[in-house]
Chain A
Amino acid sequence: MTELTRRRLLASAGVGAAGIGLGGVGGYLVGSESAEADDGTGSVPFYGEHQAGIATPAQDRLHFAAFDLVDPSPSALRDLLREWSAAAAEMTAGQMVGDVNDMQLAPPDDTGETVGLLPSRLTVTFGFGPSLFERRGLGLAGKRPAALRDIPPLPADELNEGESGGDICVQACSDDPQVAFHAVRNLARIGRGTVVMRWSHLGFGRTASTSRSQETPRNLMGFKDGTANIKAEDGEAMDRFVWVGGEGPAWMRGGTYMVTRRIRMLLEIWDRSALADQEETIGRDKYKGAPLGGSEEFEALDLEAEQGGKPVIPVDAHVRLASASANGGERILRRGYSFTDGVDESLGELEAGLFFICFQRDPESQFVAIQRRLGSSDALNEYIKHVGSAVFAVPPGARSGGYVGETLLG
């Protein structure tokens, strides 16, 4: 059963295959198409030098979860990570989880909601929070990388403990929301008894492009976001800013550090601010995406330009403060998603914003330094609140047959 793709299961078992119009796809072979294809057929290999879901061109949907260990022991953690890796490899290949899926008297291993769905470029990325290394009974205190430290309090923080931190994170990205949800749900199920979910987020639309092949998407403020992001094709930038090299502990080599921030946007206030204010806040033309004073989206920022004695890109514009040149050349790989999560109970307003995710070699000198600049003077602060925060060490990828985290625990 493990070798069966979800599509083939339908065809061979004849479970309504024709009914859902899949009759001809029964022989579909996962991996025969390009991993890049975003029509659902693409599948991204789980095993490799780096974990997938970082340099992978950003998929459209996200389900992110942070877990805490219940009763930490090294062997339980090792078993969990081994099982999680195996399940993630199956799911990313478009296969069902586990091998007990057709016994009438047993609950199926796989929860089943992706049967008939394509792999949809699912990636599953695992990371370890600073708290994992402090857990008694694991003996990991000495292995915590110096770069992995809780994000310090930053200006404009309004953090909520319940949406911050976590021992282990799972980032599931896919072009199909149900495929991403399925991944987190099944990993949570496998982990039951070993881990409990601390918080989780659904992202309904990517807000960054991580590949030159992708259009720059718009965030919920209606602006193109991440135009100046690091692109995965830029191997030199990836090595310089994202992948851990010789500096870290050996077990992190080829890994990276992930920072997540739940950023609530005050959309009601934003929506009633004048177009000119919105553009000066961001520093870009709302529709074209060009920097103020420019005409093309990918034009370099002209931070020196002045008109009538004032800078064309205001001194507190988001693009200026976030630019590499304002931050000593430091850059990060952003890979965030728009979220909405019902209605704010006490305001009756949309609970929505950006679930910000970024990857870097050193959170302190990259994300934290940039956010310190932004937090104290960014014009955008008028319209956003950082309500959740977490940081994770993302170990390198696993070899086929191994598991993510093996470099730490193996």
Chain B
Amino acid sequence: MNRLALRPLPIAAGICLVALFAAGCGTSDDAPAGAKKMAFTLTDAGCEPNSAKAPAGPINFEVENAGTSKVTELEVLDGETILGEVENLSDGLSGSFSLTLEKGEYTLYCPGGDEEKGTLAVSGELKAENSPEVEAAIAQYRKYLEQNTAALVAATEPFVAAVVAGNAAKARLLYPAARIPYERIEPVAESFGTLDPRIDARENDVPASEFEGFHRIEKALWGGSTAGLKPVVIGSTAGMAPVAKQLLADVEELQARVKNVELQAVQIANGANELLGEVSASKITGEEERYSHTDLVDFEANVEGAEVAFEAVEPLLSEKDPELAKEIEASFEDVYASLEPYRRGNGFVSYTDLSKADTRKLAQEIDALAEELSQVPAQIVG
């Protein structure tokens, strides 16, 4: 459970933020592709027209002086803040500037005119135009997302079948593998409201009556004891068939829904951070898989998911800060290396075999990587 992921970035602060995607902040001579053109004339009366409407998005303001010596300038303001302007347009001259505006009421200001102030009403939702590089990052991550939701369904099917058939031993064997694809893409799953809690809530995350999904079954299979007692003796599938069937329906729903999920480069980068936050908060502490103690399996899956998310946006980062990109690559290697001593066959040692010194070392490697990774979103926007 991790709720922050993929929360859309607020654009409150941000005419500038959004404008940077398209045309730079403030004035620009280059009209962004697909910008709406709006023509204004400077006259003795002021701005002409002095009342205009436009859809949210990039707008190219084309301003011409039609023979006035009183007015030589047009500004667009949000409250008191000048967002863009063209100045020193004497008789016969023209100029332009571009802005990306979100919904709101803006002021057109032509100082010196009979009526200096007018209004520009912008309506509708803003759609950021992505560069080809950003589109490529999103496409790469989307592919990973779809691969993993498919793998999740494929791995959950035999697990659920074993639970429904009452074969607890087999279900215990299949459980860790079913967790991996989910843990790789968890931040996206969390953007679908109650779907994540239904699939992945831990016992104290939700009211008892709503405790279902993987961890409800985990608890039954390992006998409900957190102390690492003998699951073979006390664990069972009793009562779990309906829970397992619902789990399969839920992961199938997830697979269907990610096909239409909207992604932004910044969200992908944030998702990588969230995955490492997950590692710190619930895997290194042994809280995620408190009955099966397969936390290190999830640990590795979270890190893999973070790495793929990072790699998707890495070209965007490398343009701005190649040094940071290299450091992050190296830190990922360090984290993988720190996991190696605990690898056994296809999986890892039980969490209960880790000493405090072991978990401490792992936690500090993750913190070092995560601190660097947290710098990425701001870099790839700005």
Please report A residues at the B interface, Cβ cutoff 8 Å. Answer: 153, 155-158, 266, 268-269, 271-274, 276-277, 280-281, 307-308, 316, 345-349, 376, 379, 381-382
Chain B residues, Cβ within 8 Å of A376: 206-207
Identify which of A156, A272, A273, A277 contacts B205 (C-beta below 8 A).
A156
A272 engages B371 (CB within 8 Å): yes
* Known A156-B205, A276-B9: A266·B360 in contact at CB below 8 Å: no
B363's closest neighbor in chain A, by CB? A347
* Known A346-B356, A348-B364: A268·B4 in contact at CB below 8 Å: no
A343's closest neighbor in chain B, by CB? B360
B355's closest neighbor in chain A, by CB? A346
- Asked whether any CB of chain A lies closer than 8 Å to the CB of B273, the reply is yes
Identify which of A158, A307, A347, A381 contacts B359 (C-beta below 8 A).
A347
Identify which of A271, A276, A308, A346 contacts B360 (C-beta below 8 A).
A346
In the docked arrangement, what's the CA distance between A381 and B10, Å? Answer: 21
- Asked whether any CB of chain A lies closer than 8 Å to the CB of B280, the reply is yes
B13-39 vs A, Cβ < 8 Å mask (1 yes, 0 no): 100000000000000000000000000
Please report B residues at the A interface, Cβ cutoff 8 Å. Answer: 2-4, 7, 9-13, 102-103, 125, 204-207, 270, 273, 277, 280-281, 284-285, 287, 356, 359-361, 363-364, 367, 370-371, 373-374, 377-378
A155 engages B207 (CB within 8 Å): yes
B204 engages A156 (CB within 8 Å): yes
Q: Name the residue among A316, A347, A376, A382 with the largest chain B CB count within 10 angstroms.
A: A347
A156's closest neighbor in chain B, by CB? B204
Q: Name the residue among A269, A276, A381 with the largest chain B CB count within 10 angstroms.
A: A269
Give the distance to chain A from B102, nearest Cβ to Cβ, in Å. 7
A266 engages B281 (CB within 8 Å): yes
In the docked arrangement, what's the CA distance between A52 and B11, Å? Answer: 47
Give the distance to chain A from B183, nearest Cβ to Cβ, in Å. 17
A348 engages B277 (CB within 8 Å): no
Give the distance to chain B from A299, nearest Cβ to Cβ, in Å. 16
Instruction: Sample 22 A-B pairs with CB under 8 A, ordered by A number.
Output: A155-B205, A158-B287, A266-B280, A268-B280, A268-B367, A268-B370, A271-B371, A272-B273, A272-B371, A273-B273, A273-B374, A274-B270, A277-B270, A280-B7, A308-B125, A346-B284, A346-B285, A346-B356, A347-B280, A348-B360, A348-B361, A376-B206
Give the distance to chain A from B54, nearest Cβ to Cβ, in Å. 16
Give the distance to chain A from B81, nearest Cβ to Cβ, in Å. 15
In the docked arrangement, what's the CA distance between A271 and B13, Å? Answer: 21
A377's closest neighbor in chain B, by CB? B3
A157 engages B204 (CB within 8 Å): yes
B375's closest neighbor in chain A, by CB? A272
Chain B residues, Cβ within 8 Å of A153: 204
In the docked arrangement, what's the CA distance between A158 and B356, Å? Answer: 18
In the docked arrangement, what's the CA distance between A44 and B196, Å? Answer: 52
Give the distance to chain A from B55, nearest Cβ to Cβ, in Å. 14
Chain A residues, Cβ within 8 Å of B359: 346-347
In the docked arrangement, what's the CA distance between A155 and B202, Å? Answer: 10
A349 engages B367 (CB within 8 Å): yes
Give the distance to chain B from A342, nearest Cβ to Cβ, in Å. 13
In the docked arrangement, what's the CA distance between A156 and B364, Å? Answer: 24
Chain A residues, Cβ within 8 Å of B378: 274
* Known A155-B207, A346-B360: A277·B4 in contact at CB below 8 Å: yes
Chain B residues, Cβ within 8 Å of A382: 2-4, 277, 281
